[in-house]
Amino acid sequence: MQTVDFTTLMAACRELRTEWIPARLTTVYQRDRYTLSLNLRTLKSRGWLTISWHPQAARICLGAPPPRLTDTFTFSDQLRHQLGGFALVGMTEIAPWERVLDLQFAQRPGEAARWHLYVEIMGKYSNVILTSADNLIVTAAHQVGAQQSSIRSIQTGQPYEPPPSLTGTLPKLSESQQRWQERVSLVPGALHRQLLKSYRGLSPTLVRSLVQAAGLDPNQSTQDLTTSDWQQLFACWQQWLQVLGMEEGRWGDAGTRRHGDAEMGRRGDKGGKEDKEDKGDDSQFPIPNSQFPIPNSQFPIPNSQFPIPKQPTTNNKQQTTNNQQPTTNNKFQPGWTDQGYTVMGWDMVKPADSVQAVLDKYYTAQLNQQEFARLHHQISQKLSNLLNKLAQKAAAFATRLQQSAQADQHRQQADLLMAYLHHWQPGMKSIELPDFETNKPVKIPLNPTQNAIQNAQSLYKLHQKLKRARYAVEPLLKAVQEEIFYLEQVKAFLKTSNIYSTPEDLQTLEEIRAELVEQNYLSAPKQPSRAPTDISKPYKYQTPNGLELLIGRNNRQNDQLTFRMAGDYDIWFHTQEIPGSHVLLRIQPGAIAEQADLQQLLI
More confident residue, 155 or 574: 155
Q: Which helix (H) or strand (E) holds 30?
A: strand 23-32
CB 378 within 8 A of CB 451: no
Q: Which H, E and C letters describe 312-329, residue by residue?
A: CCCCCCCCCECCECCCCC
Q: Is the pLDDT of residue 63 over 60?
A: yes
Q: Is the pLDDT of residue 51 over 90?
A: yes
Beta strands in 196-355, from DSSP E residues, in sequence order: 335-336, 341-342, 350-351
Alpha-carbon gap, residue 507 to 377, rounded angstroms:
15
CB 515 within 8 A of CB 494: no
Q: What does the pLDDT look like over 439-494, one tens digit per residue?
A: 888 888 898 888 988 988 898 888 888 777 778 888 899 999 989 988 998 888 88
pTM of the model: 0.71
pLDDT score at 486: 87
Helical pair 452-496 and 503-518, crossing angle rounded to 10 deg: 160
Task: Give the whole-number percent of the chain exceeding pLDDT 70.
Answer: 79
Q: What does the pLDDT look like over 494-550, one tens digit per residue?
A: 888 888 888 888 888 888 888 888 888 888 776 554 444 456 677 777 777 777 777
Ranking 2-16, 289-303, 353-367, 523-537 by mean pLDDT, the lowest is: 289-303
Q: What does the pLDDT look like over 195-223, one tens digit per residue?
A: 999 999 999 999 999 999 999 999 999 99
Q: Is the pLDDT of residue 408 over 60?
A: yes
**b/e per residue 320-336 (b: at least 16 CB within 10 A):** ebeeeebeeebbbbbbb
Ranking 65-74, 422-431, 554-563 by mean pLDDT, the lowest is: 554-563
Q: Which CATH class is domain 6-167+253-280?
A: mainly beta
Helical pair 227-244 and 6-20, crossing angle rounded to 10 deg: 30
Task: Give the whole-number percent of the chain exceeding pLDDT 90.
Answer: 46
Q: Which CATH class is domain 378-518?
A: mainly alpha
Q: What does the pLDDT look like over 414-440, one tens digit per residue?
A: 888 888 888 888 888 888 888 888 888
CB 99 within 8 A of CB 164: no
